[in-house]
């Protein structure tokens, strides 16, 4: 028999022999089993359990319901993988066998420590698929529903504590885009937290995104007014007013104009065949007239990197970045470690931010070891999201030791790059 598994953060499931057993149990038998498992090691009196789940019934009826549901539970769940009885009961008490072996996501989540490294915290965070027993409630079992409420609050607070610690570590590493994603996720759980909005606003300003900084203040102001009938605190207002005042006086965006050049096909071909003494690594990529496939160019770039760069160098990139890169190309799985599907979904914009940030770290890390030439042929055929990454990379990178060389026919993409980055025709 396989180990029994309890997934209680999010939509509750109990897995035995690879199957969810919730449909084999009544709602109250299912709830009672969860309650016993969460309070493992504690013996519960039959009277208290009967009152907890059937408090609206008379004593005899509640006692009968308890006996019947206990019997139905033992029919479905008798022994664990080691042959241990799962539920122990006598005339007065019921409990989960303390020797019983099973997995429970709550127990993993409860291992949180403030001194955990970032990768461990990110792994821990994956177990939070949603609120404790999300959307689960028992009719007329008011005491049990109160217990759910208090446990739910407990794990919400713990989740926010873990998120806050991840945010602090990202901030220490100057991972502003990832820190922004964490603050956004925290606001999903705590939408009235004015301090989080202010932190989010400051992050947008650090990323030179005044538009979203202003939108963040307006969203906070609207929510506070609608839900609490109050206005943002004075310090937050002053920061907002300062941003609005300085918006028209903002300094030009700083870009690395020497990092990109338009080339002829002949020049690109010479580079592909190694005729470029100043570059130690040439990554040759080509765009094709394919429509409707997002990230396909980035997938091509990742494939070229994994084929041409040594494993020793690639393993230096933290797994958390490889796990994001694996979303666009399977070649990254070799370096990403074990990926667990926790059911947690990212918004499209959050996923894109994570992929872009991880790709930038990968390219810059390699360029710190060897000078890179990235060749992009037929830019006009590049998918839109990959082109957004090219702009993102050129805006964000200041320590990239290399250059991007582009060929392509007259197209909007070429005009955009020329306007934004003053890209020039360059002889190789």
Are 262 and 138 within one domain?
Answer: no
Which residue is associated with the tokens 């080339």?
A: 263
DSSP annotation of 64: H
Do 211 and 69 share a structural domain? no
For residue 421, the model assigns a pLDDT of 67
**In the prediction, which pLDDT does 427 show?**
38
CB 97 within 8 A of CB 81: no
Distances in Å between the alpha carbon of 283 and those of 137, 152, 271, 376, 400?
56, 50, 10, 9, 14
Range of the domain at 309: 257-425
What distance, in Å, lies between the first and last C-alpha atoms of the chain?
66
Whether residues 59 and 40 fall in one domain: yes
Sheet holding 4-7, edge to edge: 19-20, 13-16, 4-7, 102-104
pLDDT at 29: 96
Residue 34 lies in a domain: yes
Residue 2: what pLDDT?
Answer: 62
**409 and 298 co-located in one domain:** yes
Is the domain of 143 the same as that of 116?
A: yes
Distance CA 145, CA 229 (A): 30
Position 426 scores a pLDDT of 45
CATH of the domain at 410: 3.40.50
Structural domains counted in the chain: 3
Judgement on whether residues 84 and 7 belong to the same structural domain of the protein:
yes
Report the C-alpha gap between 246 and 238 in whole angstroms: 12
In a domain, 368, yes or no: yes
Shared domain for 161 and 279, answered yes or no, is no
Residue 32: how many other CB atoms lie within 10 Å: 26
Main-chain phi, psi angles of 45, to 5 degrees: -70, 145
Q: What is the pLDDT of residue 153?
A: 94
Distance CA 156, CA 158 (A): 5
The tokens of 83 are what?
A: 């042959």
How many Å apart are CA 191 and CA 369, to the nearest integer? 44
Per-residue pLDDT of the chain (428 residues; tens, 9 = 90+): 567 999 999 999 999 888 899 889 999 999 999 999 999 889 999 999 999 999 888 999 999 999 999 999 999 998 888 888 999 999 999 999 999 889 999 999 999 999 999 999 999 999 999 999 998 999 889 999 999 999 999 999 999 999 999 999 999 998 888 898 899 889 988 899 999 999 999 998 888 788 888 989 999 999 999 899 999 999 999 999 998 887 555 444 333 345 788 888 888 887 777 555 578 889 999 999 988 899 999 999 999 999 999 999 999 998 888 999 999 999 999 998 765 554 455 667 778 888 998 999 999 999 999 989 899 999 999 999 999 999 888 887 667 888 898 988 877 887 788 777 655 444 33
Residue 171 has, within 13 A of its CA and on its CB side, a CA count of 14
Closest CA to 407 of 374, 366, 362: 374
The confidence score (pLDDT) of residue 116 equals 96
Q: Are residues 155 and 202 in the same domain?
A: no
- 19 and 35 share a domain? yes
Q: Which two tokens stand for residue 127?
A: 């177990």
CATH number at residue 145: 1.10.10.10
């Amino acid at each position: 028999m396989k180990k029994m598994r309890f997934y209680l953060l999010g939509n509750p499931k109990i897995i035995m022999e690879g199957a969810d057993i919730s449909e084999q149990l009544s709602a109250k038998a299912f709830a009672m089993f969860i309650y016993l498992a969460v309070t493992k090691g504690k013996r519960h009196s039959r009277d208290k359990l009967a009152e907890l789940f059937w408090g609206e019934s008379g004593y005899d009826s509640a006692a009968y319901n308890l006996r019947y549901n206990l019997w139905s539970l033992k029919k479905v769940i008798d022994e664990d993988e080691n042959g241990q009885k799962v539920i122990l009961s006598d005339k007065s008490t019921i409990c989960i066998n303390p020797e019983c072996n099973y997995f429970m996501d709550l127990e993993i989540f409860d291992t949180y420590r403030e001194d955990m490294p970032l990768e461990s915290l990110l792994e821990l965070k994956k177990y939070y698929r949603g609120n404790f027993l999300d959307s689960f409630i028992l009719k007329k079992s008011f005491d049990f529903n109160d217990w759910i409420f208090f446990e739910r609050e407990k794990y919400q607070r713990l989740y926010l504590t873990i998120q806050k610690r991840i945010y602090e570590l990202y901030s220490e590493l100057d991972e502003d885009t990832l820190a922004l994603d964490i603050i956004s996720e925290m606001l999903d759980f705590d939408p009235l937290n004015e301090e989080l909005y202010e932190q989010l606003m400051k992050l947008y300003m650090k990323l030179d995104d005044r538009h979203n900084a202003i939108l963040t203040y307006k969203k906070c102001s609207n929510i506070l007014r609608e839900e609490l009938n109050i206005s943002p605190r004075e310090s937050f207002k002053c920061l907002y007013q300062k941003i609005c005042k300085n918006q028209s006086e903002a300094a030009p965006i700083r870009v690395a104009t020497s990092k990109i050049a338009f080339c002829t096909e002949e020049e690109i071909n010479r580079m592909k065949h190694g005729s470029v003494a100043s570059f130690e690594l040439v990554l040759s990529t080509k765009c094709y007239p394919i429509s409707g496939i997002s990230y396909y160019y980035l997938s091509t770039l990742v494939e070229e990197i994994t084929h041409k760069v040594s494993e020793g160098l690639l393993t230096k990139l933290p797994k958390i970045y490889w796990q994001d890169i694996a979303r666009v190309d399977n070649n990254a799985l070799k370096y990403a470690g074990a990926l667990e599907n926790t059911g947690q979904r990212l918004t499209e914009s959050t996923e894109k931010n994570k992929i872009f940030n991880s790709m930038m770290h990968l390219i810059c890390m390699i360029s710190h070891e060897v000078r890179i030439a990235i060749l992009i042929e037929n830019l006009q055929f590049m998918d839109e999201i990959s082109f957004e990454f090219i702009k993102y990379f050129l805006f964000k990178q200041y320590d990239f030791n290399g250059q991007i060389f582009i060929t392509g026919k007259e197209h909007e993409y070429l005009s955009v790059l020329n306007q934004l980055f003053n890209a020039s025709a360059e002889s190789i």
